[in-house]
Structure 1
Amino acid sequence: MVGKILKFQLFGLCLLTLVSAFYFAFQDSIPDNYFLITSSLSSFNFFAFYSYSCLVFVGFYLGPWLFFPFLLFTLFYSFIASKEEKVLDLVSLFPLLVWSLIFSVWVLPDLVGLGLIYLIEKKLSLFIQLALFFITLFCNLFTLSLRLKSGVEKPTFRESLNRIFSSGKDEGLGKNSGLFKWFYGGKDSFLNYKLKITVKLSSFLKGSSQKKELTQSNSFQETNKKKIKSPKVKIGRESPEKASSKGRQSQGEEKYKDIIQELIKSFPDKKLVEAPNDNYFEEITQRIEGKLGEFKIDGGVINVLKGPVVDTFELELGPGVKVSRVNNHIQDLSMALYGAPIRIVYPMKGRTTIGIEVPRTPREVIFLKSLLESKQFLSDPSPLLIAMGKNAFGDIFISDLRSMPHMLVAGATGAGKSVFLNSLLVSLMVKNTPNNLKLLLVDPKQLEFALYESLPHLIMPVVTESSKAKIAFSWVIQEMERRYSILKELSVRSIDGFNEKVRNGLSSDLIKSIQPYYEPESSDFFLPYVVVVVDEFADLILSKNGKDIENMVCRLAAKARASGIHLVLATQRPSVDVITGLIKSNFPTRVSFKVSTSVDSRTILNSMGAEFLLGKGDMLFKSGIETSRVHSAFVAEKEIEFLLDGLQGIPQSFNKSIIDFLEDGDCFDEGRGHASRGEVQEKVDELFEEALSIVMTHNLASASMLQRRLKIGYNRAANLIEEMEARGIVGKADGPKPRKVLNNKIDL
């Protein structure tokens, strides 16, 4: 019933808007029968007479101003009210009409009917008009915020694009345009190629020499219906002790990279934006020099460094002219350039000039495909290479996560932070097989990383809850301590040195010394890189577990580098209660996209400048004391899906002990598992004797070992270890090392 009434309101408002617009356009040629009735006419048409009278009546008391509330109400109904019916929506039209009317009377009185203006000015004082304006504005905002919080599922940007493309295809609009030609004409070959790559990847993983054939389909519907189930064969790492292992492993990595590069080459090519002509730069140069001349500042533009998004005009100052004089007139220079958000860069490295960065029109879009295929990216052997984008001068900007070693990313909503994280993840996927890199993704918003749920590089499922995130960080700390103990046994200082020794082969004594830190009977001692990516860190730090998470993050940031664990934290709320001083001190590498105020810029970078960025991937990259302006690369969601579909032949291989830890590792906070140290539980676990037998047999004790041997959860295994410690059988915990058995002469 509510939906029918809303449709009736929308239809009525549409009808009145059309009638008012018609009267506004043809009012000079319409007879004013409503206000002028004479007896001189011997005959007249009753239908025409009353039709014109109604038209004049509506136009006199309404007006074209109705278009604004009609547009707003249409958007409200389409995206919110039509999804879920609420009785509150029935009265939402009235305050919208009143607010739009008063606003139109003040700002656009020509669009309001003369009769309506007369009634408002005659009956309503200015005070009443102001009161109605703000009351109805509050009602509109309150209704909108209430409906947005009610959990209405709004269409995503991708769904909106699909609707636009679908309607355009059905109606036959723009079929000859390049966009529709790419979307519909090139989709068949794009998807068919994806199927071919998937089978090729599965074939090489399986090691089969059989040739698989694919039937090409010229129809998008036929191609979409076909589903090729590729065999899920795990990429296994052979024992490092075997001589042939190194060759097979290297060959497998090369094949993986070849397949990835082939997938990237299949991304659709994008049309580049045409660069401005010389007159464009000459006009800007003249305006800059002219404005400086007005303030008696001696200086001139000697060179233009052209970039993809901003152009840097090198300004050489005259003798004795301070840089601060130019910096004090940023707003005046911006006004001279039609309000463009400019930025002063000084000093310019290796130059005696200062730079004035001016946004380019139109700006160039930097696609990730061009960076991943570049010589700089392909020739660099670093496994944790990130294709950041291009700098202000148009040079490709590549960064190594190992040298950072952790990164803090911040920016306002819509500034390009999520796209940058996607580019980062794709860069890591391109450079590393699932054996060389493990990803831990934390997504409190449950939306940004949902696309990567099938990614074979994941070390555990995508974490979406703050309580689970705390447990995940606890596991990362445990893994860091375990790795440091392993590195200590081999007397190496980093994970790279350890893995090099593993590839060259380990002696039996070394294997025996590190075996307690691995799964029983494990022959694969290789340690992969672990990259932890958090999409919205503010949701975690402001939760009830926020303080514990902050301490764990700071501990990881301070120690985890040599163990091959790296952190990437992103937030759209760059406030001091989220990016605390403790976190900033442990994250020397920071990326700031466009922010709202200079205070936010200082919070992230300790300096101003991020508030003048352009958005859509424009960022400031600070590493140490140097700050560079970089324009992030763009990767479409469709391209990520295509890449992930091509990797579906590699199954996910989660470690069971990690999953058990994630499910049962919150025992200390909840108080539902461990006995207090030094106290013996009143009720002895029925598996205690069996657990004690295992400890005596192996002469070491750890909760993870009991988990694997007894097939029990983490809580129960930890309780058994605590029980043994309370009885004096095993010693106290020493980091990730197994506990020492103090009394191995117990009669079982």
Structure 2
Amino acid sequence: MTKKKSNSAKTSQTQARSATRGGTSARGKSGGKSKPASSRSKNTPRRGRKREPFRLNLEQKALIAGIVLIFLTAITVLSLLSPNQGQLPAALANLMWSTFGWGGAVIPLFVGGAGFYLVLWGMEQHPKLPTIRLAGLVLLYLIIEAFASLLLVMGRNGLPDVWTVAQQQKGGGYLGGMIALLITSFAGNLGGIIILALLGLGATVLLTGVDRQDLQTIWRLLQSRSRRADQPTVADTPAPAARERPAATPRPAITQPALRLGDTPATDTPATDTPAPENERPARRSRRSRSAEPAQPPPPAEPIPVFLGASPGQVWRLPELSTMLDAGTDQETNDLNIREHVEIIEHTLESFGAPAAVVEISQGPTITQYGVEPQFIEQRSGKRTKVKVGKIASLADDLALALAARSIRIQAPVPGKGYVGIEVPNTAKAIVSLRDVMEADEFQRIRGPLRLGLGQNVSGQPVAADLSRMPHLLIAGATGSGKSVCVNGIIACLLLQNTPDDLRFVMVDPKRVELVGYNGIPHLVAPVVVDLERVVGTLQWAMREMDTRYHKLAEVGARNIVEYNKKVARRQEYEKLPYIVIIIDELADLMMMAPEDTEKGITRLAQMARATGIHMIIATQRPSVDVVTGLIKANFPARIAFAVASGTDSRVILDTTGAERLLGQGDMLFQSPDAAAPVRMQGCFVSDKELQAIIHYWQAARRQNLLQARGPLAGPAAAAEPSADADERDAVAPGARATPARTEALPGDGEEPDAGISPTPPAAITPPTPVVLPPSTPPTPARRPASPPPEPTLTTIPSPLQQPLWEDLIPAENGNGDEDELMSEAIDMVRKLGKASTSLLQRRFRIGYTRAARLIDAMEEKGIIGPPTGTSKAREVLPWDPAAESGTDDEDTANAGSAAEDTA
């Protein structure tokens, strides 16, 4: 019974299961809520599916192959060292020596190296192994094998001797014998040796990676050593004889021919104006030969003779470049140091997962740029991806640490090149001379009077620019970075190639240090502006001069100053317009005093003054957004950035970072208007001695022209000359025979020289006749014109005579005279109100703070108001006696009337 019940229970369970399955399938067919088979997850393994076979990836295969090669290397080394330890080592050693001959000892190194490389490659830590160098190594090994066999069988009977040498396990074995037999079969023994030698040289080049630049460097090094060996020592070189100067003798003014300003008297050396014959013209000396010669200072005491010609105009002569400037030092090349840096750079980049190869090296005076080309990285999947440029640029600090350098700048990428530039400082700097840059072809190719020699780039090539194309220049950098040297170099470059008829300067130096030494040169429109109160007026004068020039251009029908001067040269009623360069040494001081007026004046000149020949060079040591505003920076596309403190300051100047990694001392970034990125270069260095030589030359030339203008009035005729009034004398054209009414005191004419100028001028001027200046007669009131004279412009200023124009062109804020015209009204007001304050004067008279504070100080000095209270309260008005004050005024009026009668 029990068995029957159990069987019936099993039968019922089976039927229930089948019914359940049938119901489920029925519901699935009838659209029930059962989950269809297609909706099952794809990752769910199906029953009965075959499993994938076990496969090794590429890295695993390389790892196993490397281990096998290392094992074979160990067995081969043991077989070669002890071949008598068994049949396998003996057979393996016999095979190696017979096949490769003497080269069999190197085969374990090749096999082991390949094994280690595959192991490291499988671990993704493999070193870079260029294919071309690997091919060079294999080719060099085969050539050595063939050469060894060829030397042993030379002069014998060819094939039998080759096999005999291979069986004796000598030479290159069977491998070297076959190669040697193949070459000698069509070229002979001697031809085979030549062919193998040439192939060996090519294999060496492939293995070492020597290129044309390395060969040129080696050739220059050998040439320099040979020249040093040929040069005599200093002890053997005779000292140059001192040049004797003839004694100064009075020159006849009639019999001697006329000399131009700057001509030197006849000495034992030939004159520079006389051209040498073609076959005797001295070749241009190289920088190396000039640096080898003993440095000789330029002769500053060369006398400039008096102009003896009959022409009433002024004749200027440019100074000689070779006598004013010194040559630069030569750049020393250290190939060993460069190769060491190449290895460190490649190893460091590879260790940080950014493999790269150095493909180009450019050495400059301050830095050496290594051109790095990013390489490929092989992934585990077998794909090769190139290293990103940004990854290399982010490793600047790590490279600086590895190279033990002060600072490293990475230019990623170099514009126009296919590599990233890594700029590493040189161990020894080379001085870039302004003379070398001005004598270079890059400077000479620029046509125009405003050529600027800036320096040398990272490749050692001179860099020159044209100020008229910029058309304005902004220079910024921290203190001590070389900003002032750059400004002085630009001024010296312009003075060496322009006369006062072609170029005039307006200089602003609030620091009273950098530019005041140029006082006295004839290129200045007026003395250097050092008072901040006059700077705004100076900019206003420049804008009025710009407007005047635009009217002149419209009269002639010219678009710019170049066309105007060309048309004026054919017409006598117009005068030539010189270029004007406005140099402001410190912009931050001006922006703190009068930011709105300064920014407005600079912006208007920068936008409009280019066509009229007015250009600006502005320097500042505070490159912040409140000094170099966006409006100023937008109108100065040409900028020079020296070393700054942070990347923020670099962005203010150049709109990009990079200046914070400069080295200082003339290391700069030059942003040209037509360049995509700033160019790094080393600026020109101009010493104080060179600047003094240039300044003294032009001061002596100006003094000579001043004597020329005064000369016709000397002697007794000067006393009979009627005294003209000041306005008529000021209106005399340049070069006319009249005494200028207003001339500034020159250094050496009874006035102490300015700072930075030697009190003893280098030029000894000996006039042919004594010069007697006419007595200055003050103009009488009767002859003074009723209407004020017209405002003087640059065309009415005698070019050799620097005039103190700012007193006339810039009206003082306090009116005519020392006392403000509002003083009397201010005194009446404060006495009526019984109090005085600066804000009160500002509100009542609608004046600025500076003028109101000046009025308060003047009233305090006169005893009208009391001292400041130290608080915000107004000052106290002191008591006064109106009767005594009116008596004093009557007495002053009487004294003034008697003085007028005495004058009459």
Task: Give TM-score scaled by structure 1 length.
Answer: 0.55
Task: Tell me what 1:728 maps to.
Answer: none
Distance 1:490 1:578, change over 3 A: same
SS at match of 1:651: helix
Contact 1:334 1:340 in 2 (8 A): yes
Task: Tell me what 1:643 maps to.
Answer: 694
CA-to-aligned-CA distance 1:534-565 (integer Å, 9 cap, x gap): 1111111112x332122101110111000000
Task: Tell me what 2:565 maps to.
Answer: 499
C-alpha separation in 2, matches of 1:303 and 1:533: 40
Pick from 306, 315, 318 the counterpart of residue 363 of structure 2: 306
In structure 1, the gaps of 5 or more residues are: 1-180, 197-202, 217-222, 239-248, 512-523, 664-685, 695-700, 721-748
Say whether 1:607 aligns with 2:661.
no
Contact 1:617 1:632 in 2 (8 A): yes
Contact 1:407 1:590 in 2 (8 A): yes
C-alpha separation in 2, matches of 1:237 and 1:622: 45
C-alpha separation in 1, matches of 2:304 and 2:328: 31
Task: Tell me what 2:188 maps to.
Answer: none
C-alpha separation in 1, matches of 2:300 and 2:361: 53
Deviation of 1:280 after TM superposition, in Å, equals: 0.8
Distance 1:383 1:229, change over 3 A: closer
C-alpha separation in 1, matches of 2:510 and 2:557: 39
Aligned pairs for 1:166-177 within 5 A: none
Task: Tell me what 2:540 maps to.
Answer: 474
C-alpha separation in 2, matches of 1:541 and 1:415: 22
Contact 1:590 1:622 in 2 (8 A): yes
Task: Tell me what 1:292 maps to.
Answer: 349
Distance 1:555 1:599, change over 3 A: same
Contact 1:660 1:714 in 2 (8 A): no
Pick from 422, 439, 457 the counterpart of residue 356 of structure 1: 422
Say whether 1:442 aligns with 2:514.
no
Deviation of 1:274 after TM superposition, in Å, equals: 2.3
Task: Tell me what 1:746 maps to.
Answer: none
Pick from 600, 613, 629 the counterpart of residue 551 of structure 1: 600
CA-to-aligned-CA distance 1:425-477 (integer Å, 9 cap, x gap): 11111221110000111111111112211222111111111112222111111
Task: Tell me what 2:372 maps to.
Answer: 315
SS at match of 1:480: helix
CA-to-aligned-CA distance 1:686-727 (integer Å, 9 cap, x gap): 9999546x9xxxxxx95559xx9xx9966999999xxxxxxx
C-alpha separation in 2, matches of 1:498 and 1:211: 35
Contact 1:232 1:649 in 2 (8 A): no
Deviation of 1:339 after TM superposition, in Å, equals: 3.5
Pick from 257, 260, 263 the counterpart of residue 320 of structure 2: 260
Task: Tell me what 2:612 maps to.
Answer: 563
Task: Tell me what 1:580 maps to.
Answer: 629
Distance 1:340 1:210, change over 3 A: closer
C-alpha separation in 2, matches of 1:402 and 1:590: 14
C-alpha separation in 2, matches of 1:187 and 1:483: 54
Deviation of 1:504 after TM superposition, in Å, equals: 2.4
By percentage of residues, which structure has more helix?
Answer: 1
Task: Tell me what 2:643 maps to.
Answer: 594
Contact 1:439 1:457 in 2 (8 A): yes
SS at match of 2:320: helix
C-alpha separation in 1, matches of 2:408 and 2:741: 53
Contact 1:703 1:717 in 2 (8 A): no
Contact 1:410 1:572 in 2 (8 A): yes
Task: Tell me what 1:541 maps to.
Answer: 591
Contact 2:321 2:435 in 1 (8 A): no
Contact 2:405 2:425 in 1 (8 A): no
Task: Tell me what 1:272 maps to.
Answer: 330
Deviation of 1:374 after TM superposition, in Å, equals: 2.2
C-alpha separation in 1, matches of 2:327 and 2:419: 38
Contact 1:404 1:623 in 2 (8 A): yes
Aligned pairs for 1:341-740 within 5 A: 341-505=407-571, 511=573, 525-543=575-593, 545-624=594-673, 625-651=676-702, 691=786, 702-704=790-792
Equivalent position amino acid for 2:610 in 1: R
Task: Give TM-score scaled by structure 2 length.
Answer: 0.46
SS at match of 1:577: coil
RMSD: 4.3
C-alpha separation in 2, matches of 1:558 and 1:613: 31
Identity score, percent: 33
Equivalent position amino acid for 2:332 in 1: E
Aligned pairs for 1:175-254 within 5 A: 207=260, 212=265, 231=306
SS at match of 2:496: helix
Contact 1:471 1:662 in 2 (8 A): no
Contact 1:423 1:635 in 2 (8 A): yes
Distance 1:336 1:482, change over 3 A: same
Deviation of 1:647 after TM superposition, in Å, equals: 2.6
Equivalent position amino acid for 2:604 in 1: R
Distance 1:715 1:327, change over 3 A: closer
C-alpha separation in 2, matches of 1:366 and 1:237: 42
Distance 1:447 1:546, change over 3 A: same
Contact 2:452 2:466 in 1 (8 A): yes
Distance 1:438 1:657, change over 3 A: farther
SS at match of 1:300: strand
In structure 2, the gaps of 5 or more residues are: 1-234, 250-255, 270-297, 377-385, 707-728, 733-739, 745-780, 797-804, 817-904
Equivalent position amino acid for 1:395 in 2: Q
Distance 1:386 1:235, change over 3 A: farther
C-alpha separation in 2, matches of 1:662 and 1:540: 29
Contact 1:312 1:358 in 2 (8 A): yes
Pairs aligned (count): 456
C-alpha separation in 2, matches of 1:503 and 1:441: 29
C-alpha separation in 2, matches of 1:404 and 1:295: 43
C-alpha separation in 2, matches of 1:716 and 1:363: 50
Contact 1:235 1:650 in 2 (8 A): no
Contact 2:509 2:515 in 1 (8 A): yes
Equivalent position amino acid for 1:282 in 2: R
Deviation of 1:642 after TM superposition, in Å, equals: 1.4
Contact 1:385 1:400 in 2 (8 A): yes
Deviation of 1:648 after TM superposition, in Å, equals: 3.1
Q: Which has the larger radius of gyration?
A: 2
Equivalent position amino acid for 1:632 in 2: G
Distance 1:715 1:322, change over 3 A: closer
Distance 1:340 1:541, change over 3 A: same
Deviation of 1:268 after TM superposition, in Å, equals: 4.3
Aligned pairs for 1:115-194 within 5 A: none
C-alpha separation in 1, matches of 2:265 and 2:434: 31
Distance 1:406 1:328, change over 3 A: same
C-alpha separation in 1, matches of 2:356 and 2:811: 76
Distance 1:362 1:591, change over 3 A: same
Equivalent position amino acid for 1:280 in 2: N
Deviation of 1:378 after TM superposition, in Å, equals: 3.5
Deviation of 1:209 after TM superposition, in Å, equals: 12
Task: Tell me what 1:19 maps to.
Answer: none
